[in-house]
């Protein structure tokens, strides 16, 4: 979850410290993880076939097939897929949440869902 505090009031909300108007702000909460879209833009944009849909329905990047072109990065409407920085192994290749494909293939729950205290991730 990405948390942003912006210095702009949103409508008639109570803003600033203790409701004062000295420094108005708004909080924006954004989910910054892969949604494993049914019609995944990253999957459709990949020219090498490095991005595939798994047997459990997740969208998975195959590191050994990815050529690092970056088409998937610009095709993701949520901005969650990225390229590995240069000093890291597999530099330039795309990466994102795997939805714990290895865990699901073994019949286990994804780690994020298991750790979520509100059980809002399933």
* 122 DSSP assignment: -
CA distance 65 to 110: 24
Per residue of the chain (122 residues), give pLDDT as tens.
667 777 765 566 555 555 555 566 777 776 677 889 999 999 999 999 999 999 989 999 998 999 999 999 999 998 899 998 876 666 778 999 888 989 999 999 999 889 888 887 77
Residue 57 · residue 36 · CB < 8 Å: yes
Looking at the whole model, is its pTM more than 0.75? Answer: no
């Amino acid at each position: 979850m990405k948390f942003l505090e912006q210095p702009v009031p949103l409508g008639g909300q109570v803003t600033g410290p203790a409701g004062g108007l000295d420094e108005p702000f708004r909080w924006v909460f954004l989910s910054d993880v892969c949604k494993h879209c049914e019609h995944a833009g990253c999957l459709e944009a990949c020219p090498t076939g490095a991005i595939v849909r798994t047997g459990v329905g997740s969208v998975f990047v195959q590191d050994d097939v990815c050529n690092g072109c970056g088409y998937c990065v610009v095709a993701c409407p949520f901005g969650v897929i990225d390229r590995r920085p240069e000093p890291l192994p597999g530099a330039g290749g795309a990466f994102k949440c795997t939805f714990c494909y290895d865990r699901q293939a073994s019949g286990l729950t994804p780690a994020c869902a298991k750790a979520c205290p509100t059980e809002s991730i399933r």
